[in-house]
Amino acid sequence: MEILPIKSIDDSDQALVGANIVNLAKLARAEFPVPEGVVVTAPDFILTSVVKLIEGAEKSVFEQRLVLAKNQLLKSPIPVELDNFLDERQIYFLPNLTSLDIASGHVLGITVKKKQLVWENLVNLWLEQINSRFYQRGFDSLSFSQLTPLAVFVLDKVETEILAFFDTNRQEVIAESSVKLQPKVLQEIDQLVNLGNKKIFLPQVYILALANKHLCLLGVLPHSGTLPKKIESHLATYSDQQKPTVKSAAKVFLQIQSGFSIYPGADGIIVQRDLSKHFEETIFRLTEAAITFPEKKILFKLPTSSGDLSGLLSILHQPQILEECADIYQFVRNKKKLLNVEMVLPLARGVSELRQIKQDLLSLGVDRKGSSGLWLEMSIPENIINIEDYLNEGIDGVIIDLDLLQKHLFAYEVDEAQFYQKACQVLIKFVLPAVKSCHQQGVPALISGELALFPDVTENLIKRGVWGVICDNLQTAESLPEWLNLLENNLVLKIT
C-alpha cells in the first residue's frame, strides 16, 4: 500500500496513480482549490484474498463469493500505513472517481470520521471495481492487478457535489448539481474550468464540491465532448453483455469532421486536421478518440489542401503545416502514450512526393517504427497504375477515394453515377488490381466516398480483399455493419 500526498505527485508517478490523479496534483500545485488529501493504492492482500475466493467462479455465484471476500477483508486490521495517516479528530471525504463512466451530477461521495469507517469504505470501493471488471471481462486476475488508487480528502460539511465541463457546442461552461447554485459560485466554476483546461492543455470534466460554502476541486476526468448522462451506473449489467451486435468481416471506419459523436461499433476513427480550426481542437478530438477506443485504429489525416494547392504538394510547399501536424502526432503518441494513432498522408502525385514527405517527417522525428503507421490516400489514376511502386516505397495502409477517382477517370459527378452504370463497372475493373496488390502484400486498403456504398462496387471490392469502408456520418456508421454482414453472407452463398 502506498499513501501519497496529492501535492507531492508528479508525472513520474503516473504509472502508479494514473493520469487523472497526476492532473489533479498539477492543479493542486497551481493553487487550485484542491483540499488537503492523499491517494491510497490498494494493498496486495486485497487482491490475494479476492482472487483466491472468486477464481473459476461462475457469474451466478460470483457475488456470493465477493460478499465472503468482503467480510474477511473488513475483519482485517487497518494497514499500518493508513492507520498512521488517519486522525480520529478529522472528517474525511472519499469521492468515487474510479470509473470514467461516472459522468453524472452525482459523484456518490462518502463522508466519514472514524478510522475504521475510512478503511471499510476504501475496501468497498475497490471491491466495486473488481465487481465491475468481472462483469465486463469475466475472471482474469491480470485485470485485477491494478486497481485504481483512491483519493481521501480532509473535508468537512460537503453541501453538494458538482460536475462541470466546457461544452464545445454551446461554447460555455456547464455545471451539473442537485441544488441551485448561486451566481458567485457559477462564476468561480466558470473561471476554474477555463483556467484548468489551459493548465492541463486538454478539456476535462471537473468534479467539485461545496464544503463550508467554499468551492473544492476533488478530481478531473477526460472530457468526451458529449453531455453527461444523468445518474448512470458504472457497472456493466448481465443483460447488457447479452445484447446482440451485428459485425462484419469488413471494417467500418467513421471519419469525424467536427464535434465528437462516435458510433462505438466502428472499427476505427479518422480525424482530419482542419486548418480553419485551432490545432488544439484537433488534439482534443484525436486524443479523446484514442482514449475512448484504445484497441482500435485512430487515423490522423493531414490537410488535403491549403490555398491553391492540394495533396502532398501543398504540404511540401508550406513546411509549417507539416511541422504543426508532426507536433500534434508526436504529442498524442509520445506524450500522451496513445500508440493506436497512425498518420494518413493526402494525395501524392508520384512516388517522388511520397519519398520527399517521408524524409521531411523523419527529420521532424516521425517514422514508421513500431506501431507508428503511415497511410496514403489515393485518388488519381496514377496512384492506382503505380500502386506497386508506392507499396515498395513503404506505406502501411491505403485509402482509395472512389469519388475523386471516378471523376478523374470519367469526368462525371457522383450524383450522376446512376446514369453511368457501365462506367462504375469500369471503375471496379480499374481498381481491382490495386486492391489485389495491397491484399497480397498485407497492406490494408480502405475505400471511401459515396461510391463505396454502391452495392455492386462494395461487393466486388470486398470480395477481392478490400479491408474496410469509410463513412462520414453517424447514421451510416450505425447501419453499415448489418448491411456489410448481409452482403458477406450472400457472397458465401454464391461461392457455395
pLDDT in tens, 201-214: 778 888 888 887 78
Q: What is the mean pLDDT of residues 380-388?
A: 96
Q: What is the mean pLDDT of residues 349-369?
A: 95
If you count them, how many residues does the chain have?
496
| pLDDT the model gives residue 374 | 96
- β-pairing, 214-222 vs 251-256, is unpaired
Continuous H helices in 224-278? 238-242
61 or 197: which carries more pLDDT confidence? 197
Distance of alpha carbon 490 from alpha carbon 248, whole angstroms: 12
| pLDDT the model gives residue 237 | 24
| pLDDT the model gives residue 58 | 58
pLDDT digit string (tens) for 394-420? 999 999 999 999 888 887 665 565 555
| pLDDT the model gives residue 421 | 56
Contact (CB, 8 A) for 98 and 149: no
Q: What is the mean pLDDT of residues 458-473?
A: 88
Residue 145 has pLDDT above 60, yes or no: no
pLDDT digit string (tens) for 156-193? 777 778 888 887 776 778 888 777 777 678 878 888 99
For the ranges 21-30, 68-77, 272-281, 396-405, which has the lowest average pLDDT? Answer: 68-77
Mean pLDDT of the chain: 79
Q: What is the mean pLDDT of residues 44-49?
A: 64
| pLDDT the model gives residue 105 | 39
89 or 291: which carries more pLDDT confidence? 291
DSSP assignment letter at 441:
T
| pLDDT the model gives residue 98 | 47
Distance of alpha carbon 82 from alpha carbon 100, whole angstroms: 26
Q: Tell me the DSSP string of 119-152.
A: HHHHHHHHHHHHHHHHHHH-S-GGGGSSPPPEEE
Distance of alpha carbon 137 from alpha carbon 134, whole angstroms: 5
| pLDDT the model gives residue 99 | 42
Across-strand partners of 274? none
Contact (CB, 8 A) for 374 and 343: yes
140 or 374: which carries more pLDDT confidence? 374
Taking each helix axis as running N to C, give the angle between helix 115-137 and helix 44-54, from 0 to 180 degrees, rounded to the nearest 10. Answer: 50
| pLDDT the model gives residue 199 | 85
Name the phi and psi angles at 3, rounded to 5: -125, 110
Q: What angle do CA 358, 361, 364 make, to 5 degrees?
A: 155
Contact (CB, 8 A) for 454 and 425: no
Q: Please report the domains of the chain, with CATH numbers, ordered by start residue.
A: 3-222 (no CATH), 243-495 (3.20.20.60)
| pLDDT the model gives residue 420 | 54
Q: What is the mean pLDDT of residues 5-21?
A: 83
What's the burial of 464, exposed, middle or buried (CB within 10 Å: 0-12/13-18/19+)?
middle
Residue 142 has pLDDT above 60, yes or no: no
What string of H, E and C letters represents the secondary structure of 267-309?
A: CEEEEECCCCCCHHHHHHHHHHHHHHCCCCEEEEECCCEECCE
Distance of CA 268 to the CA centre of its chain: 11
The C-alpha cell that represents 335 in the structure block = 506524450
pLDDT digit string (tens) for 251-276? 999 987 655 556 677 899 999 998 88
In the block, cell 474550468 appears at 193
